[in-house]
Structure 1
Amino acid sequence: MPLTDDIRDLIEHETSQAQALLRDLATALPKSVEAHMLLAQSHLRRLEFSQAIIHYRETLAIEPKNDEALRSVGFCLLAMGDYEGSLAAFQQAFSVSSGAGALRFIALLFHRLGRVEEAIQTYERLLANAQPTSAEISPSLQGLAAALRDAGRPIDADHHIRHLIERFRREPMSLASGLVNRNNSDDFHEWSPLADKSRLAEMLTARKAVDPAGRFPESFVLPADRAALEAFAKGPDAPALYIVKPIRGSGGQGISVTADVAAALDQSDVVVQRYIDRPYLIEGRKGHCRIYCLIASADPLRAYVYSEGIVRIAPEPYDPSPDSGGGAAMHVTNTALHLGHPGLSISQDPQQDDVGAIRSLSALLRRMTADGLDGGAAFGEIKALVEWHVRMLAAHGLFARQAASSPPRGFAPKLFGLDVLIDAEGHPWLIEMQRTPAARGAPLVEKINGEMYLTCFRMGHFPLIDDATPPDLLAALRSDDGARRRRAAELEYAARGKFVLLDL
């Protein structure tokens, strides 16, 4: 029996419900490839990689040459940090289909495993045989150039970088956004657990205990922190309201706000946070800022914050009083959750950055200044908050482990998002992190993200050597990887656009 698109939509928006339905369906239809694949995809949607692998392998037991299932097993193992297992899975997938996508992952894995010459040969094989319109060409040119630089062949690397830049000039937006999204998907596996709100809350709470400079609301993971939450609710700093979030929720799904801590205490697999009940209001409505951070290098650690961003505003006026009757449309600012709400107005003119439910960060800062606050100081505090967050990741060892896991250029730069709430005094609070922030959206979102993605490309892709390179620098770039890395950092900084270097 065919499965409908409704189930795929359910996986995207109500994953737990979809999983329960699909488990029953896979039990009822044990030979259904589609049922097992969709069940696997529902786990992949929640970044539950080990569970996804179980169901992909159930698919392969039914259909051993299912190319999508083979590649998905490889991707899950990559996301879990099992490079050898992932390599074997992609090699098996390539033996079945000879697909360019599997071959690119084989090259990527050779590079990360330190088998740099095999990576180069595999990328060259892919590029020699790929169709001119293949989506694998641009990431393969990027990967080949990185492997050649790690192999000490900067002139050969520059040849492929120039080819990539020519492709970028023909299709700048699609190429730049495609590379950012690929790089985020193929990032170091320790970024994935940070998408789990409980894991992130534990890390941020621990960091705040040793470095209290970062503003992050008190957070409790249930059921583990039930006793701590009970004690907090009885203490002198107990808030009037709490916000309750599913640990793997996204897009504002499943969030609730309550004054009754007892109701929160009865829940499991949620994060309960002190609710910031005095936010800065935009025309009487609550909003939050999406702030972008770019990790350009793990070793040495080099990172930037983007000085523009996106502000999303709730569709109903804010009134936190107990008798206001306000629900998600007042408290939750994720505009995707409120599509169809009569109070949600989204401008279709990307030049309008201070109207409707989606605005620019710069418009918000201007408005704050007009309201008697200091928008410039607020951005300075946002930058400091991003620095605090990146220092936390560094103290946790993420960047050191990434650097130790592969040759220097085995990983591309990493772009991630932070959701920040500005309070009534103009101070930013870190609310959540988005490991792979969405690229698409309203016209203003695409304008802001588009400019940022173009900048990301320019910061990461440039020849190190040209006809004007002085002889002494040319000699150093040919022979000394330290010189190559210093030169790359200089060129990256020169192309930074609206990115601001963090003080780490």
Structure 2
Amino acid sequence: MPLTDDIRDLIEHETTEAQQMLRQLVDALPKSVEAHLLLATSHLRRLEFGPTLTYYRETLALDPKNDEALRGIGFCLLATGDNEAALAAFRQAFKASSGAGALRFVALLCHRLGRIEEAIKAYELLLGSCQPTSSEIPFALQGLALALRDAGQPIAADHRMRQLIERFRRERILVASSLVNRNNSDDFHEWSPYADKARLAASLNARQAIDPAGRFPESFVLPRDRQALETFAKGSNAPPLYIVKPIRASGGQGISVTADLSQAIGRDDVVIQRYLDRPYLIEGRKGHCRIYCLVTSAEPLRAYVYSEGIVRIAPEPYDPSPQAAGGASMHVTNTALHLGHPGLSISQDANQDDTGSIRSLSALLRRMTADGLDGKKAFGEIKALVEWHVRLLAAEGLFARQAASAPSRAFPPKLFGLDVLIDDEGHPWLIEMQRTPAARGAPLVEKINGEMYVTCFQMTHFTLIDDATPEALTAELRSDDTARRRREAEQEFAARGKFVPLDL
């Protein structure tokens, strides 16, 4: 039986249902390569790398040269930090198919393993084998330029960087967005666990115990925190409503709001949080903000918050009374979950940033000020909340381990998202972290993200030496990596645009 793109869409939006259906399909069609690949994809969607590897390997048992499975195994091993095994897997994939994607990962992994000359040769082979219009060229040029800098060859690195900048000038949004999205996928493997709501909740709870400046709702991971939740629910500070979130779901899948914990408290696969029942309302509706943070260096730590963002608004008017609980269209603000709802209104004019179900952060802050709150103060508190979260990541050793694991330029800049809710007093609350925030969307989303991606590119892609560079500085940059790093930080800061440096 033919398998269609409808299944991939189901994986994206109804992952649990897709997995159940695909397991039945694999049982019914045990020799179907496509069924095994799709089942692997469904587990990869939730970053469940163990089952993903199992089904990719079952695919290879059926089709030993299957390119998607070979590269998928390499990606899973990379995502779990086994760089040596990942390199071997991508070498095997390249040997089987001579694919440019596999070769790019060979080069990247050689760089991360400190085999810089091998990385340079692999990147050069990749550039030599690609057609001039190949989408792999920007990644190869970026990787080669950074490997050459780590090899102490800044002049050669600048030559490759100029080629990349010239390509960027011809296709600004395409090149910039492609690099940001691919770099997010190829990040240090320890970013992945923070996409797990249980891991994130545990980290937030632990951090607040020693640094209470962060504001986020009380969170309980089941089954571990079941007794603590029962105690909390009986206390004087118990809320009228709770929000129940499947641990590995995304995009609003499976979320419910309830006043009665009797059914949810027996589950073993959810995070239960205090529901913030007094949000700031936009025309009577609840919304949340997507806030972006860019980490440009792990050691020394440098990070920024973007002063623009995206606000997504629920399609139905908000009613906080317990008897009204349970309506996802009122409580859950992920617009992708409400496609087709008559109350969902998405403007097709990218210049309209204060109308409909998707708006800009700046429009929200203006509206708050008009309503008697202080939008400027609210953004200051958002910045402080982002700083608190980055300090959490630093305290847990994420950046130190990344810096110790490989040459620093082997890791691209990291852009991640925080979902923030503003309460009716104008204070931001951290709800979730998005390791790889969605790039595409409505026209306003494309405009905001496109401008941000261009700035990300300009902050992190530049030459170190040009005709105007003084001779003494040129000599220093050619011989001293400390000088090169200082120059990188200076040019990054000068090109920051709407990115605001964090005080860490």
In 2, distance between residues paired with 1:452 and 1:77? 30
In 1, distance between residues paired with 2:424 and 2:18? 40
What secondary structure, in the 3-state scheme, does the structure 2 residue paired with 1:430 have? Answer: strand
The answer (yes or no) to whether the contact 2:240–2:322 under 8 Å persists in 1 is: no
In 2, distance between residues paired with 1:63 and 1:317? 52
The one-letter code of the counterpart of 1:160 is R
The answer (yes or no) to whether the contact 2:145–2:158 under 8 Å persists in 1 is: yes
Q: Give CA deviations for 1:447-495 in whole Å, capped at 9, x if unaligned.
A: 1000000000000100000111112211111111111001000000000
What is the match of residue 151 of structure 2? 151
Q: Give CA deviations for 1:348-391 in whole Å, capped at 9, x if unaligned.
A: 11111111111110011111111111100000000000000000
TM-score (norm 2): 0.99
What is the match of residue 108 of structure 2? 108
The answer (yes or no) to whether the contact 1:222–1:267 under 8 Å persists in 2 is: yes
Q: 1:326 to 1:87 in 2, by over 3 A?
A: closer
Give the share of equivalent positions with the same residue, in percent: 79
TM-score (norm 1): 0.99
Displacement, 1:225?
0.8
Q: Indicate yes or no: 2:469 matched with 1:498.
A: no
What secondary structure, in the 3-state scheme, does the structure 2 residue paired with 1:433 have? Answer: strand
What is the match of residue 161 of structure 2? 161
- Report which stretch shifted further, 232-241 or 391-400: 232-241
Q: 1:262 to 1:498 in 2, by over 3 A?
A: same
The one-letter code of the counterpart of 1:214 is G
The one-letter code of the counterpart of 1:287 is G
1:42-121 matches, within 5 Å, as 42-121=42-121
What is the match of residue 390 of structure 1? 390
The one-letter code of the counterpart of 1:335 is T
1:420-459 matches, within 5 Å, as 420-459=420-459
What secondary structure, in the 3-state scheme, does the structure 2 residue paired with 1:323 have? Answer: helix
In 2, distance between residues paired with 1:323 and 1:187? 44
Once superposed, which parts of structure 1, at least 4 consecutive aligned residues long, lie more than 4 Å away? none
The one-letter code of the counterpart of 2:329 is A
Q: Indicate yes or no: 2:292 matched with 1:309.
A: no
- Report which stretch shifted further, 249-258 or 318-327: 318-327
CA-based RMSD of the aligned residues comes to 0.9
The answer (yes or no) to whether the contact 2:36–2:56 under 8 Å persists in 1 is: yes
Q: Indicate yes or no: 2:8 matched with 1:11.
A: no
In 2, distance between residues paired with 1:365 and 1:171? 32
In 2, distance between residues paired with 1:286 and 1:129? 51
The one-letter code of the counterpart of 2:489 is A
The answer (yes or no) to whether the contact 1:127–1:140 under 8 Å persists in 2 is: yes
List gaps (5 residues or longer) in structure 1. Answer: none
Q: Indicate yes or no: 2:220 matched with 1:230.
A: no
The one-letter code of the counterpart of 2:79 is A
Displacement, 1:5?
2.9
What is the match of residue 319 of structure 1? 319
What is the match of residue 367 of structure 2? 367
The one-letter code of the counterpart of 1:62 is L
What is the match of residue 357 of structure 2? 357
In 1, distance between residues paired with 2:199 and 2:357? 30
Displacement, 1:4?
3.0
Equivalent residues, number: 504
In 1, distance between residues paired with 2:452 and 2:13? 27
In 2, distance between residues paired with 1:410 and 1:305? 23
The answer (yes or no) to whether the contact 2:259–2:325 under 8 Å persists in 1 is: no
Q: Indicate yes or no: 2:396 matched with 1:418.
A: no
Q: Give CA deviations for 1:124-155 in whole Å, capped at 9, x if unaligned.
A: 11111211111110001000000000000001
What is the match of residue 122 of structure 1? 122
The one-letter code of the counterpart of 1:83 is N
Q: 1:288 to 1:382 in 2, by over 3 A?
A: same
Q: Give CA deviations for 1:38-78 in whole Å, capped at 9, x if unaligned.
A: 11111111111121111111111111111111111111111
In 2, distance between residues paired with 1:39 and 1:399? 33
What is the match of residue 405 of structure 2? 405
Q: Give CA deviations for 1:247-270 in whole Å, capped at 9, x if unaligned.
A: 111111111001112222022211
In 1, distance between residues paired with 2:114 and 2:210? 36
The answer (yes or no) to whether the contact 1:319–1:326 under 8 Å persists in 2 is: no
In 2, distance between residues paired with 1:268 and 1:495? 47
The answer (yes or no) to whether the contact 1:320–1:326 under 8 Å persists in 2 is: no
What secondary structure, in the 3-state scheme, does the structure 1 residue paired with 2:409 have? Answer: coil
Displacement, 1:325?
5.8
The answer (yes or no) to whether the contact 2:252–2:337 under 8 Å persists in 1 is: yes
In 2, distance between residues paired with 1:359 and 1:38? 35
Q: 1:325 to 1:122 in 2, by over 3 A?
A: closer
Displacement, 1:28?
2.2
In 1, distance between residues paired with 2:317 and 2:154? 57
What secondary structure, in the 3-state scheme, does the structure 2 residue paired with 1:492 have? Answer: helix
